[in-house]
Amino acid sequence: MASVDLLRTLGNKYSAEILDAADEPRSAQDLSDELDIPIATCYRRIDELTEHGLLELHDSILSDDRRRIKVYRRNVESVSVQFDEALSIAVEERSEVTNKLDEAWRTLSEG
């Protein structure tokens, strides 16, 4: 992933807010409503963040009216940008253990 492209994506309006809110699986509509982002813009940012591996399609759930809804989750714990000798970006991905613990906790709390 090119550092400059990633930095541009992170610098886009609403990208950081979406990543922050997507620590748990969320639909585009949920993100749009909670963050007060126009839905079309929300989908564009989701596509950009997914393309760079910062957000992932977590699941496709069935809504109350029997429609499939895609839910997304942040795929990273942190992103660090350094401007030493050259631009460098370090991305720390969420660990599988973290993902599994999140899923187990959510399952227990819903039950």
What pLDDT score does 1 carry?
A: 45
Query: Which among 89, 94, 74, 95 has a CA at the least distance from the CA of 1?
Result: 89
Rounded Cα–Cα distance for residues 31 and 22 (Å): 8
**Mean pLDDT within 6-14:** 85
pLDDT tens-digit series, residues 65-107: 888 889 999 988 877 777 878 777 777 777 665 656 666 555 5
What pLDDT score does 22 carry?
A: 92
| CATH architecture label of 1-110 | Orthogonal Bundle (1.10)
Q: Which is more confident, 42 or 62?
A: 42
What average pLDDT does the chain have? 82
In the structure, what pLDDT confidence band is assigned to residue 111 with cuts at 50, 70 and 90? low
